[in-house]
Amino acid sequence: MSKREKIVEDIIAKIKAIRTVKLGRVAREPMFRDQTEFYNLARTAFPHIVVTTGNESREDITMGYSRTQMKREGILNIEINVFVRANDKTIDEECNILIEALEEQLDKDRERSKNAHNFQIIQITMGEPMEHPYAQFTMTAEVIYTYTTGDT
């Protein structure tokens, strides 16, 4: 398994371990294909969290000509897309509580189980307005890690 995959799996496992707030589904793919399916999801599916890899920049960090065992550094963006359904709180309160719970949990291990050098949430973007009582936001995390080519 690649380091990228190990990092994403670690993030999903850590999110699923959150006990300070009740979570719905945490996965790599959403449970819905379109807006109609989204609005028909059960209340228990929320908050619905989808974790995906985003853009990555890479560079060689070793000198030489051996392409089979070259050490490289990657700076990987991870997108944590959160779909919220407000219940007894306002939509804004629900989002703020989830943002805090996610960041606190993910900050406990910034090395992603020894697969990364650093992990940090670098941006939180609120989604387009949705039909009440729904909302969406994306947390973008930056992960710095190294790997050796040919080790997967």
- The structural domains of the chain, with segments of one domain joined by +, span 3-148
Question: pLDDT, tens digit, for every residue of 66-120?
Answer: 666 788 999 999 999 999 999 878 999 999 999 999 999 999 999 999 999 999 9
In this prediction, residue 78 carries a pLDDT of: 97
CA distance 123 to 120: 9
pTM: 0.90
In this prediction, residue 148 carries a pLDDT of: 87
Average of per-residue pLDDT values in the chain = 92
In this prediction, residues 37-58 reach a mean pLDDT of 94
Instruction: For domain 3-148, give the fold.
Output: STM4215-like (3.30.2000)
Structure tokens belonging to residue 70: 């070259």
Is pLDDT at 9 greater than 90 in this prediction? Answer: yes
In this prediction, residue 151 carries a pLDDT of: 66
150: left (phi over 0), alpha (psi -120 to 50) or beta: left
Note every long-range contact of 94-97, with CB atoms under 8 Å and residues 24 or more positions apart, other chains counting.
94/47, 94/135, 95/126, 95/135, 95/137, 97/21
